[in-house]
Structure 1
Amino acid sequence: MRGAQAVTGRANAQAAGILWGKCTDADLVKAKAQCAQLSVPLDYERPKGTTISLALSRVRHTVPDGKYQGVMLVNPGGPGGSGLALATLGGLVPKGAGNAYDWIGFDPRGVGASKPALSCSGDVTAYNRPSYVPVTAALEKTWRQRSKDYARKCAKAGGELLDHVKSADNVRDMDSIRRALGVQQINYYGFSYGTYLGQLYASRYPRAVRRMILDGVIDARTVWYRSNLDQNVAFDRNANIYFDWIAKNDKTFGLGRDGRSMGQAYYGLLAKLRKSPAGGVIGPDEVNDVVLLATYNVSVWPVVAAAFAALVRKGDSGPVKKLYDENYPQGAGSDNGYAMYLATLCTDARWPQDFDRWKRDAWRQHAKAPFVTWANTWYNAPCLSWAAQPGRPAEVDGRQAPPVLLISETLDAATSFEGALETRRRFPKAALVEGAGGTTHASSLSGVACVDNTVADYLERGALPARRPGNRSDRLCDPLQPPAANQPAATGPAPAADQKG
């Protein structure tokens, strides 16, 4: 591993090919960040052809140059998530360990402030959508047509871009950023889908990696149809865990003391809302999408439960609508994250092209795991008719990679703990920290001292937990805990609200 002294000489160098300037985002301005656009080839096989640009942000190190540890690229996942704001992440690392790095946020190709940014239709999350569960032939036909129409709109809007937004393209963009920054190695912090980019980067460019943290770890064996089937079962499990918590806090929410009865009430409400949406706009899809937030992150358990209780007990749909509007915006450009999610995942690997298989798998899972199975099926259904040709998943082989820190909670539904174990097997120098029994997705730097101090020790001096023998984690920590039931926090967009890995 390269030490701090080896990178000090570049601490103040002007990055080749990057002209840093002012940012416009208020949080980035407050953090004294700099922003830029970096030109990269649309098609790396034609480097002198059409170019696109990536939006970058940078929060510089605040330690003396002699203690500088290099650049830290950050990716929030999705795919389709904007990463510019994550340049401020260093301030959350305990012990000031993040201050020794230049934190580099970036919007992947097609995303956010990168140019061009893909948007296909602003009404994907519009109210009064047909019910996710196709209990009639008409509902199934309607959803299939909606999926085809969205894919068609993306083909028109995306054009040539759609052929060049695979994970492998994003990985090459990461190395273009490295080269433009003028450094031989990067540090990297990836969340959720960002952990897949990290695995691919460390496989392709192992000598270019200094330190790497992967939180909410993708299972490379399951990209991407199988991973969504796995999610259907896992989210249902976490919904039942959440219903049990609501029942345990009946004094606060007044929805009953039995988790199973709570679940029955939930599905009964969805059936009722199919016939008559609350407030004319809150139907079963909107309620499902809001409750789904709680199966990603325990931080929103109280506020989601309070909103659901207001709807059930008082017929007040306002709190649910508020959460829905904050987390699922509508209007021009609002579908950018979803469009780029599909653009990447539909082409990373071939999806089954027989809808009858999707249908059989969905009904089979729905019978035992009804919480999100059909919602997730339709979320991905545009892949059935996506315009661009799929590739083959790149190989993940971490045998040449340096020591890597892996983080996962045991019951993470979006990225399974088994995926973290599989990545640990593929990266023999990695160490895995487990939030024992937790259900939160990608929860590091959220205030759990055991996890966050492990991150700090690794970033400060490269220290990892000792690797234990066998197929298990190397350090057990407490999971992220929910707030008190009677203290729902004021919320904007909930953590991990992108719905995916």
Structure 2
Amino acid sequence: MRPPRSLLVATALSLGAALLAAPLVTSTAAVSAEASEPAAFRASPIAWGRCRDAFLRSSGARCGMLTVPLDHADPTGPTIRLAVSRVAHTGRTYRGVMFTNPGGPGGSGTFLAAYGQFVPGTVARTYDWIGVDPRGVGASRPALTCDVRIAEIGTRPPSYYPTSDAILDQWLAKSETYAADCGASRAAALLPHMRTTDTVADLEVLREALGAEQVSFYGFSYGTYLAQVYATLHPDRIDKLVLDGVLDPRGVWFDSQQQQNRAFEKAMGQFWTWAARANRTYRLGRTGARVEKTYYRVLQRVTRKPVNGVGGPEVADLTLSAGYSRSSWPDVASMLSEVATKGTARRLRKAYTSGYPTTRRGDNGYATYLATLCTDAPWPTDLDALLADYAGQDRSRHFFTWPNAWYNGPCRTWPAAPGTPVDVATSDQQALLISETFDGATPFAGALEVRRRFGGASLIEGVGGTTHAGSLSGIACVDDRIAAYLASGRLPKRRSGDRSDVRCPAIPAPPAR
């Protein structure tokens, strides 16, 4: 059975399920009074046992917990625990450990231990596939949660677009309150230690606990940036890199969000055109331009008066999924059609409450996303300048600018100090890079930039596609090259110039009927 794809397309706008924060575990390590330097943290072996998740169990995975320092600069201080999973190699040949990360930041990644089964052939069986819930995430302890009602239907302003001072004030208050709630949460001690560099240090402890001299890394979305930083800080520890949905290391993170705004405008254009071709089914418009107008008309309608409790932000959030994955197009079109032609939103409400849980620990994905994004690098704090910047972008990037602005809004008053992002090194690092031409979440320019920095990398382009982080989805041109690289370490021949090295078919759009 196929694992859930939702976690592979989680960068912005994905409030994942979560687990409640648990108290910090105090280390029992003692510090000698005579010691002039802190003792290095010693990784403890992982006690592998039965996984709770049915998909992992059916895939032959074993699960456990890894103990790491809360603060790697204080290895004898408090510790936390990370949930880890492993599908051990079964082939006669052993090619080593394969780390994975699904993105986010904030994505629960234990399910990725089972992802090797989707690599063509048998080469994946020659690796130990490792999944991890990063610090603060999912089944790791403590898990960060701030306010489970943050996305509850009926609790948000009526629109993402601040067309009045009242709406603007509501969003500012909501952003500031959520940041304050995170600062007052049970797991607030995590907040100064949620940077990408902290997770890289955790992975080094995991490598040591597994007894591996080197590791390979299969990263999706933000996971590609995590792998870039790992390869920069520990270049001798990296064997093979597969980076899908490649994130641009420049402009972490505010500038990267602005690039998303432009890219999603293009990705959504393909959806509008597809829905127009299927007008007989969805009745949203006969041209892409008309479908787009229908979308904004639906937004205005539910902003004035919610339908089945659904307002503008809920419609915008679910429509955005069409910019992440072509496979979602029929569902998104059906939900918009119900509102536009029938005046009801039952399908949309059901999908929203399922995807944006307000149950216990329901905001963990959002909280941990912010905890990394807001502290990896400084975020603009001048409110007037920030609002003016968003207003300017909105003129040409209307679809995503304001939704993205408010999603990241708590960063302006985040209760932990920002750090300085790692400058991803220019080197002869080998890597297999994968990106579709019109990926909205991680624009194609990022893959070209990493190809420039990693002189040994090769880039596969899904020509004309909009799906984010979709490798191992059945496109042989892509998936067979992944398998070949994992088997031999040989990459596709690198072409001259600033371009992709292999051009493959994109993940196809569903039939437009």
Task: Give me the TM-score of the superposition, normalised by structure 2.
Answer: 0.90
> What residue number does 2:381 align with?
353
Taking the aligned partners of 1:263 and 1:361, their CA distance within structure 2 comes to 24
User: Could you give the per-residue CA deviations for residues 16-60 of structure 1, whole angstroms, max 9, x where no partner exists?
Assistant: 611111110111111121001010011111101110011000111
Give the number of aligned pairs.
Answer: 468
**Maintained 8 Å contact 1:277/1:283:** yes
The answer to whether the 8 A contact 2:324-2:440 is kept is: yes
Which residue is equivalent to 1:37?
65
- Asked if 2 retains the 8 angstrom alpha-carbon contact of 1:199 and 1:398, the reply is no
Instruction: Decide whether the 8 Å contact of 1:255 with 1:309 is kept in 2.
Output: yes
CA distance in 2, matches of 1:264, 1:365: 19
Match of 1:114 among 116, 140, 151: 140
Correspondences of 1:152-171 after superposition (within 5 Å) = 152-157=180-185, 158-171=187-200
Secondary structure of 1:180's aligned partner: helix
Does residue 466 (structure 1) correspond to residue 493 (structure 2)? The answer is yes
Deviation at 1:343, TM superposition (A): 0.3
| Distance across 2 between alignment mates of 1:338 and 1:222 | 21
Q: Secondary structure at the match of 2:456?
A: coil
* Residue 84, structure 1, aligned to residue 110, structure 2: yes
Against the structure 1 CA distance between its residues 148 and 16, is the aligned structure 2 distance closer, same or farther, given a 3 Å change threshold? closer
Shift of 1:258: 1.0
Distance 2:198 2:453 in 1: 22
- Equivalents in 1 of 2:324, 2:129: separation in Å? 26
In structure 1, the residue corresponding to 2:455 is in which secondary structure? coil
Long gaps (5+) in structure 1: 1-14, 487-501
In structure 2, how many angstroms separate the alpha carbons of the residues matched to 1:325 and 1:102? 36
CA displacement 1:242-292 (0-9 Å, x = unmatched):
11110011122122211111111111111111111111x111111111110
Residue from 47, 51, 69 that aligns with 2:75: 47
The counterpart of 2:332, out of the listed 293, 298, 304, is 304
* Residue 267 of structure 1: aligned partner: 296
Separation in 2, partners of 1:90, 1:398: 29
1:285-364 to structure 2, matched below 5 A, reads 285-364=313-392
- Give, in whole Å, the separation in 2 of the partners of 1:239 and 1:312: 18
Q: Distance in 1 between matches of 2:413 and 2:207?
A: 35
The aligned counterpart of 1:94 is 120
**Any idea what SS the aligned residue of 1:430 has?**
strand
CA deviation after TM superposition for structure 1 residue 316, in Å: 2.9
* Equivalent residues of 1:109, 1:117 under 8 A apart: yes
Please give the residue correspondences for 1:223-302 in structure 2 after superposition, counting only pairs within 5 Å.
Answer: 223-279=252-308, 281-302=309-330
* 2:506 aligns with one of 445, 469, 479: 479
One-letter amino acid of the counterpart of residue 503, structure 2: L
Paired AA for residue 87 in structure 1: A
Q: Secondary structure at the match of 2:503?
A: strand
Give the deviation of 1:155 after TM superposition. Answer: 0.4
AA in 2 matched with 1:107: D
Q: CA deviation at 1:97?
A: 2.0
**Shift of residue 311, structure 1, vs aligned partner:** 1.9
Q: 2: CA distance between counterparts of 1:483 and 1:237?
A: 18
What is the CA distance between 1:483 and its match in structure 2? 2.3
Determine which of 44, 50, 53 is the counterpart of 1:25.
53
Say whether residues 1:68 and 2:94 are aligned partners. Answer: yes
Q: 1:124 aligns with which of 126, 129, 150?
A: 150
Question: Which residue in the other structure is 2:454 paired with?
Answer: 427
CA RMSD after TM alignment: 1.2
Paired AA for residue 265 in structure 2: D
Amino acid in structure 2 at the alignment position of 1:17:
P
8 Å CA contact 1:358, 1:377 repeated in 2: no
Shift of 1:325: 2.1
Aligned partners of 1:257, 1:349: CA distance in 2, in Å? 45
Alpha-carbon deviation of 1:398? Answer: 4.3
- Which ranges of 4 or more aligned residues in structure 1 deviate by more than 4 Å? none
Q: How many Å separate the matches in 1 of 2:447 and 2:415?
A: 32
- 1:422-472 deviations in Å (ceiling 9; x for gaps): 000110001010001111111101111101111110111112110011100
TM-score (normalizing by structure 1): 0.92
Match of 1:441, SS? coil
What's the counterpart of residue 211 of structure 2? Answer: 182
- Structure 1 residues 454, 21: closer, same or farther in 2, change over 3 A? same
Matched residue type, 1:483: P
More helix by share: 1
8 Å CA contact retained: 2:295, 2:336: no
Provide the rounded CA distance (Å) in 2 between the counterparts of 1:214 and 1:418.
Answer: 14
CA distance, structure 1, for counterparts of residue 194 and residue 468 of structure 2: 25
Matching residue's letter, 1:127: I
What is the percent sequence identity of the aligned residues? Answer: 48
Indicate yes or no: 2:165 matched with 1:137: yes
Which residue identity lines up with residue 46 of structure 1 in the other structure? D
Matches within 5 A, 1:194-205: 194-205=223-234
What is the Cα deviation at residue 306 of structure 1?
1.5
**1:176, 1:469 → 2: CA distance?**
39
In structure 1, what is the equivalent of residue 398 of structure 2? 370
Does residue 384 of structure 1 match 2:392? no
Equivalent residue in structure 1 for 2:476, among 440, 445, 449: 449
> Which secondary structure does the structure 2 equivalent of 1:187 belong to?
strand
Tell me if structure 2 keeps the 8 A contact 1:206–1:400. Answer: no
Residue pair 2:66, 2:81 contacting (<8 A) in 1 also: yes
**SS of corresponding position for 1:125:** coil
Distance 2:303 2:150 in 1: 18
- Distance in 2, Cα, partners of 1:400 & 1:207: 12
Q: 1:239, CA displacement in angstroms?
A: 1.5
Say whether the 8 Å CA contact 1:81–1:111 is kept in structure 2.
yes
- CA-CA distance at 1:71 after TM superposition: 1.0
CA contact (8 A) 1:121 1:332 kept: no
| DSSP-derived class of the 1:429 partner | strand
* Equivalent residue letter for 2:504: C
